[in-house]
Amino acid sequence: MAILSLKNGVSSISGATVKGSFSYFSGGTRALGPSDVTGFYSGYDAPINGYTVYQIYGASGFTATVANNDTELNYILIRMGGTGTTVAQNITWATNTSTVYINSASTVYSFNIAECCVGDYPTVYSLSSSIIVGAVLYSNPQLTIPYVPYQSFFNTFRPNGGDCNSVFYDGFLIDTSSTVTAINVTGGCD
């Protein structure tokens, strides 16, 4: 389900954000009414770590092009008229033009961890940029499979796949919903 509703043109609907020739609502699925009445259409979900680039097309339409990474984004923006050579330059170009809008997906971060006293060293994924209390850990980069430890949720874990054979002070704990519940936990397996 798209979290972006947008149209070519300025909206008279309260709460719309206007960027150049686009009006949009993001972060929800607000019911705006029929597209033929409001002019709003559901956007296309950007892939994880990717982008959907919208460009004005015709009097009342737009095109949507998906980029899976920064290299693809740069190529698309150059095709749309971007004047830079780097992705940063072309994002600046897109930001300053009224006919292009970039919608980015959430960034997924990966961590190598150690499940102490078990010897398992999985890679886990999260929307959090660091292992902090409240971060939810997943087994896959699509964030569809919660991380389930090899042996037990009651083990202490270490970030960066650290050695667990001596006393350490940077451990963390997770609960059965794969959420980090404590950091800076003392542990050791000797």
pLDDT in the model for residue 153 = 65
* 8 Å CB contact between 136 and 181: no
Say how far apart CA 127 and CA 145 lie, in whole Å.
13
Closest CA to 111 of 95, 93, 91, 131: 131
Q: Domain-by-domain residue ranges, the chain?
A: 4-104, 109-187
Other Cβ atoms within 10 Å of 85 Cβ, number:
10
Q: Is 26 left (phi over 0), alpha (psi -120 to 50) or beta?
A: beta
* 8 Å CB contact between 168 and 187: yes
pLDDT in the model for residue 152 = 66
Q: Is 37 left (phi over 0), alpha (psi -120 to 50) or beta?
A: alpha
pLDDT in the model for residue 67 = 92
Give the largest CA-CA distance in the chain.
71
Q: How many residues can be counted in the chain?
A: 190
Q: E strands along 92-165, which residues? A: 100-104, 109-115, 123-126, 157-159
Block mean pLDDT (10 aa), the chain, length 190: 62 69 62 70 76 79 86 94 92 85 80 84 87 91 83 76 82 90 85
pLDDT in the model for residue 1 = 39
Residue with tokens 């699925």: 29
pLDDT in the model for residue 85 = 94
pLDDT in the model for residue 158 = 85
Reduce the secondary structure of 70-112 to three states and give it as a string. Answer: HHHHHHHHHHCCCCCCCHHHHHHHHHCCCCEEEEECCCCEEEE
Say how far apart CA 41 and CA 33 lie, in whole Å.
10
Say how far apart CA 21 and CA 101 lie, in whole Å.
9
Say how far apart CA 160 and CA 174 lie, in whole Å.
16
pLDDT in the model for residue 100 = 87
pLDDT in the model for residue 184 = 92
